[in-house]
Structure 1
Amino acid sequence: IALPPSLSNLHNVFHVSQLRRYVADPSHVIEADDVQLRDNLTVETIPLRVEGREVKKLRNKEIASVKVVWEDPQVRTRHGNWRVR
């Protein structure tokens, strides 16, 4: 939830009483482009390059992660993470 500037002094976690009913506005609708979905509802994307690698150390194991820049048909590039096992 994005807080309006008038509520910028509030913490991101606030009481339910601060919420208000949403008034429908057709200008808030975002049109989706045609996306080619597979039968299992996945989308094929191509990794462009590896941005960085990192190993996070927990108490008794290490988790390697790789930051990847993906090719996305709707957006030029998108960042994501792969966990390496």
Structure 2
Amino acid sequence: MITSEKLKIYIHYNGDIDLWTRIAKSKEDKIESTDWHLIDSLIQDITLVKNGLASEQFISNLKEHLLKSCDNEKTVKLLKSLSR
């Protein structure tokens, strides 16, 4: 489950999983590498939608996936703000 706390850790390390792996503090171990990869994937999908490169079905599936993957709407909005 993606939370605002996990996204803050992701942001702190600029999305660089290698950097996080090398220097993360114990309090930041609350994020798993699977969460990190999910965040990367969701940002990529959101970017496709923002740039008009996604079908209606893709958009619908993404909305559903975001709701299942994030703990609340605030987290979804924060995640969307990370896309280009």
Which TM-score applies when normalising by structure 2? 0.20
Q: Which has the larger radius of gyration?
A: 1
Higher helix share: 2
Higher strand share: 1
Q: Which has the higher contact order (CA 8 A, sep 6+)?
A: 2
